[in-house]
Amino acid sequence: MTRIVVALVVLIALADSVRAGLYYSGEKIAPLPSKWSGFLVDHRSLRMAGIARPKGGQQAPLREMYLAAAKRLEERAKRQALTAEESADLGALYIRLGQSDKAVEVLRAAARRFSNNFHVAANLGTAWQLSGDLEQAAAALDDAVRLAPAPSRRFEEHHAKLLRLRLKEGKAAAKPESVDDLFGVRFVGESGKPEAGRIAAKEFKKLPADAAAIVQFLALSLPADGRLLWQLAEIANAHGDVRTAAAILDGCVTEFAMASADLRARRQLYRAATEAFAKSPTSERHKGTFAARSPRPLVRKFDASKLPPIRSDGPNPLPWGLMAGTTVDAEARPMFPEHLSKLDGKTVAIVGFIQPLGDAKEFRGFLLLEYPIGCWFCETPEPTGLISVELAAGTKASARRGPVKVTGVLELNRDNPEDFLFRLKDAKLGEVE
C-alpha cells in the first residue's frame, strides 16, 4: 500500500468542539464521533491517567501531564484567587487524576463565586457523580443544562438523563444488567433477540444520528464507566460493525470485569458473528453505516522540547506525537518537524503494533502502527500513524496482538509520494518496558 492510497482517507480540519461532562482548556477534542480504533486508544489513555502508580513507578504519560498542570494551578491559587475558568480547569484535572473529592471541594467553592459559569457547573456535576452523590450531581447538571450554550446543551441533557436513570436504579446501578436507556432503543434483532450485525429496522430509526457522538463524549468524560462502553458496543453493532462490537464487549469483560449475563451472551454472539464475517466476501465484510468525523478524539500539540538531546551512540525515543506533526502540502511534499528532521539517519526506538503485509507466518518486513487495526478497509490509518519496518538480516517477526518495541535507523521520505513517509531499516524487536 502506497502513501497515495493511505492518503485517500479524508483528514478533517479539527476545529474547536464542545463537549459534555468534563471541560478542561488543556484538552482539545476533535469532532465526534471518532474512528472506533482511535477512540478506544484515547479512552484507555484517559482511564490510565486516573490510576496512580506506586511511588517511584512510571506514571502514564497523560497522568504526568495532568499532574504538572494541576501543580501549576495549585501554585497560582496560593498567590491569587483563581478565575472561573482556572477553577474549572483545576477541578477537571483532579477528576482526570481520580481525585474526585478534591475536585468537589474546588468546584463547590467556585460555584458559589461563579454561579452562572457553565464549565464550573458541568465539572461539578461530574465530580459529584464520581464521588458517589448522584443527587448532588443531578442538581449541578440541571444548572449545566440551563447554562449550556446551544451546541453543548444536547450533550448536557443526555448526561443529566444518564444521572436520573442511575438514580432511579439505586444500588442496582452498581451491577448493571443492561445498557442505559438513553435513546429509547432496544438493541435487539427482528426476532427479539440480540442479533449480530443489525437491530430491528424500526428500532434503528429511533437511534438519533448523533448517538455515537453523545456516548463517546460521555465515555471520554467518564472513562472508568464500563457501562458506557457497553452502550457504544451496541451502537457499533446497530451500525453493522459487529467486529468492533465484539472487541468492545471483550474489554467490558476483561478490563472492567462486567458480569452481566446479557452482556456476556452478546459478547459470545458477536464473536461468533465476527468469525462468520471473516469468511464472507470482502464486499459484505465492510458494509456499515457508521461515519467517523475524526481519526481520534484527543488533539494534542506535541512538545519536542521535553525530549532528551539527540544522541549518536544509542537509540533516541521516537514518539508518535512527534511524527503526527508532519504535514503534506498540495503537491505531496512533506514538511517534518525540526526535531524529527534531526533524527533522520539516527537510531530510534518506538513502541507500536505489528501489521503484517501478507499471509506469511514469519516475515522481515511489516508496518508498525500507532494503534492496532482490525479492518484495514474500515480503519485505514493516517500516513503519520504508520512506519514501514525492515528487520536486520537474519531476523524475522511474526504477528502478535500486543505492542512491541522496535529499534532501527530512521529514514524520512522527502521526495517519493508513492512511498511511506517513514521507514526503519536494520530494525530489531524488543519487549515493551
Set of cell numbers at residue 15: 476545529
Question: What is the reported pLDDT for 126?
Answer: 97
Which of 129-133, 242-246, 300-304, 366-370 shows the lowest mean pLDDT across its residues?
300-304
Question: What is the reported pLDDT for 56?
Answer: 65
Question: What is the reported pLDDT for 382?
Answer: 77
For the chain, the structural domain boundaries read 11-300, 304-430
Question: What is the reported pLDDT for 78?
Answer: 97
Which of 71-75, 86-90, 255-259, 414-418 shows the lowest mean pLDDT across its residues?
414-418
| 350, β-bridge pairs | 406
Q: What are 386-389's contacts with CB under 8 Å, separation 24+?
A: 386/6, 386/355, 386/420, 386/422, 387/323, 387/350, 387/352, 387/420, 387/422, 387/423, 387/424, 388/419, 388/420, 388/422, 388/423, 388/424, 389/365, 389/423, 389/424, 389/427
Question: What is the reported pLDDT for 289?
Answer: 85
Question: What is the reported pLDDT for 193?
Answer: 78
Domain covering 304-430 assigned CATH 1.10.1040.10 in the classification: no
The enclosing H or E element of 407 equals: strand 404-412
- Tell me if 196 sits within 8 A of 245, measured CB to CB: yes
Mean pLDDT of 381-385: 81
Q: What is the pTM of this model?
A: 0.77
Mean pLDDT of 279-303: 75
**Band (192; pLDDT cuts 50, 70, 90):** confident
Pick the CATH number of 11-300 from 1.25.40.10, 3.20.20.80, 3.60.10.10, 3.40.50.12280: 1.25.40.10
252 CB-contact burial (10 Å; exposed 0-12 / middle 13-18 / buried 19+): buried
Which of 17-21, 104-108, 207-211, 396-400 shows the lowest mean pLDDT across its residues?
17-21
Question: What is the reported pLDDT for 19?
Answer: 52
Please report, for residues 14, 230, 238, 321, 406, the alpha-carbon distance to residue 11 in angstroms, rounded to integers and kept in the order given.
9, 28, 25, 16, 27
Task: Name which of 106, 159, 103 is nearest 131 in CA terms.
Answer: 103
Set of cell numbers at residue 207: 437511534
**Band (378; pLDDT cuts 50, 70, 90):** low
Cα(44)–Cα(42) distance, integer angstroms: 5
**Band (324; pLDDT cuts 50, 70, 90):** confident
Percent of the chain at pLDDT above 70?
90
Question: What is the reported pLDDT for 8?
Answer: 30
Mean pLDDT of 57-69: 83
Cα(75)–Cα(93) distance, integer angstroms: 14
**Band (6; pLDDT cuts 50, 70, 90):** very low
Question: What is the reported pLDDT for 14?
Answer: 30
Please name the residue that has the C-alpha cell 456535576.
125
346 CB-contact burial (10 Å; exposed 0-12 / middle 13-18 / buried 19+): middle
Q: Most confidently modeled of 42-51, 131-140, 202-211, 377-386?
A: 131-140
Mean pLDDT of 220-227: 96
**Helical residues (DSSP H) of 114-147, grouped into ranges:** 118-131, 134-147
